[in-house]
Structure 1
Amino acid sequence: MASFWEPITVNGQEMQMYASVPSSSAGFTAPFPAVVVAQHATGVDAFIQDICDRLAAAGYAAVAPNLYHRVTDPALLNEQPRPRPAALLSDPDIVADINATVDWLLNHDAVQSDRIGVTGFCMGGRVAWLAAATNSNFAAVVPYYGGNLTATWGAGDTAPFDLAAQINCPMLVPLRGD
């Protein structure tokens, strides 16, 4: 398994993306199915990187775009408590970041372009839902515990929940166990 940070361009700006790919020494051969892993509120941290690495160990190319790349004051990301993600992100920017990530995957020879999924945890679940509703290239979506589905963020004009009819791929919605 190889893991690395890859810069990609979104609307003229550079965005870092964590990528993890299966190893040929583990018996995997390209092209691979792929998964976009949407970050949770704390960013593309060790947890999200571990999810990508675990997906790669299972034979998937996995990528996690840094949705906070537009935050101009990095101190905001270190404040305790951290500002709510809705104060840092905007739905149109999230969609642009996900679309750029998907375009990168679609143009990569090591990826099966018809087998791209999206998942995310907590805030990432909301992002995964929004991504599947706005990008028809996804073959599956698994939004883990996405909150704020009925609210728009930033310059957004339609809440992700209201876009549900636009999701044209299978969706697995895990239930919380008590």
Structure 2
Amino acid sequence: MAPFPSLPGTDLRLGRRELLLGGAAAGFALAVRPVAASTVTTATQGLTAGWVSVPAAGGAVRAYRARPVKGSGFPVVLVVQEIFGVHAYIQDVCRRLAQLGYLAIAPSLFDRQGDVTQLPDIPSILPLVATVPDAQVMADLDATAAWAAASGEGDVARLGITGFCWGGRITWLYAAHNPKLRAGVAWYGRLVGQATALQPLFPIDLIAKLKAPVLGLYAGQDDGIPNESVQQMQTALKAAGSPSRIEVFPGVPHGFHADYRPTYRAAAAAAGWTQMRAWFRANGVV
């Protein structure tokens, strides 16, 4: 197989050897196995990376954070998980951002409800995820940003957020929640849906309340997020005069950035990553 084309500005290594040796596979959620040969492993050289404990209401939250070894006061990016938890892919995204000079930190947002990384399939995961209140998630993200500031490692005056799938929806919500956020990048997060007591609002409901600009990166052939809902969001953003916008990548499926899954599309993933970096730079997350 041809080597993985590195995402711009990152130090990435093809993780096939590690997967064959069994080292990397252990870090992935049970529900996503077998892990694809295209999986990326980012070098930890020059980084401080690992789990930390974040004080939060209701008990401490585990979080995976990565930052450059040298320096302090780095711009902060909150990384929001998919439904599969803070497994190896989300940890690697943190390291990719750290290689670019960020303090990237991914809180484990389902821990109070259970450990989704140990569940065998999506039908087992979805009922647990449905019990996670949006209010709890917002509070835990706030606590994570506060930890970054108190640690001296991060400068939350330069705070950004990015999230994938489930975390894409949360990215939009957090942009409407935190007035100190500078920018968000949502990867194929749900935009409309059926409200529940625990998840009462969707991004389409919050356009007028967005406190930071969001770049949405969406798939043109997404089986779970209809194109009609993306077009509805684009129209609503334009009508509101919002600085937020959505980029649609034609011909690619949901999860096109997830290099450990068959849905991965290298060209779209690299292009989206480049756009994310430019969005953060343009909005002061640098």
> TM-score range with shorter-chain normalisation?
0.7 to 0.9
Whichever residue aligns with residue 45 of structure 1, its letter is H
Residues 160/47 of structure 1: CA separation in 2 closer, same or farther (3 Å cut): same
Aligned CA RMSD, in angstroms, stands at 2.0
Q: Is the 8 A contact 2:84 2:117 kept in 1?
A: no
| Equivalent in 96, 99, 114 of residue 54 of structure 1 | 96
SS of corresponding position for 2:207: helix
Corresponding residue of 1:159 = 202
SS of corresponding position for 1:37: strand
| Separation of aligned partners in 2, 1:49 and 1:164 | 30
Q: Does residue 109 of structure 2 align to residue 67 of structure 1?
A: yes
Q: Is the 8 A contact 2:158 2:182 kept in 1?
A: yes
| Separation of aligned partners in 2, 1:149 and 1:86 | 17
| Separation of aligned partners in 2, 1:87 and 1:12 | 19
Higher RCO structure (Cα 8 Å, ≥6 apart) = 1
Q: Is the 8 A contact 2:184 2:214 kept in 1?
A: yes
Q: Deviations over 1:83-138 (max 9, x none)?
A: 32642411111111111112212323221221010001111101111111111121
Q: Cα offset for 1:154? A: 4.8
| Equivalent in 54, 66, 77 of residue 20 of structure 1 | 66
SS of corresponding position for 1:173: strand
SS of corresponding position for 2:125: coil
Corresponding residue of 1:80 = 121
Q: Deviations over 1:7-50 (max 9, x none)?
A: 112213121000101132xxxx3211110000011000110000
- Alignment size in residue pairs: 173
- Aligned 1:96-175 pairs, distance under 5 A: 96-147=139-190, 149-152=192-195, 154-174=197-217, 175=248
Q: Does residue 36 of structure 2 align to residue 36 of structure 1?
A: no
| Separation of aligned partners in 2, 1:149 and 1:102 | 27
TM-score scaled by structure 1?
0.87
52-61 vs 155-164, greater mean Cα deviation: 155-164
| Equivalent in 93, 96, 110 of residue 136 of structure 2 | 93
52-61 vs 109-118, greater mean Cα deviation: 109-118
SS of corresponding position for 1:146: coil
Larger radius of gyration: 2
Q: Is the 8 A contact 1:95 1:134 kept in 2?
A: yes
Q: Is the 8 A contact 1:150 1:160 kept in 2?
A: no
Residues 151/108 of structure 1: CA separation in 2 closer, same or farther (3 Å cut): farther
Q: Structure 1: which 5+ runs fail to align?
A: none
Corresponding residue of 2:249 = 176
SS of corresponding position for 1:79: coil
Task: State, as a whole percentage, how many aligned pairs show the same letter.
Answer: 33
Q: Deviations over 1:53-83 (max 9, x none)?
A: 00000100000000111114x4795132333
35-44 vs 158-167, greater mean Cα deviation: 158-167
TM-score scaled by structure 2?
0.56
128-137 vs 168-177, greater mean Cα deviation: 168-177
Whichever residue aligns with residue 83 of structure 2, its letter is A
Residues 157/87 of structure 1: CA separation in 2 closer, same or farther (3 Å cut): closer
Corresponding residue of 2:87 = 45
Q: Is the 8 A contact 1:17 1:63 kept in 2?
A: yes
| Separation of aligned partners in 2, 1:48 and 1:154 | 28
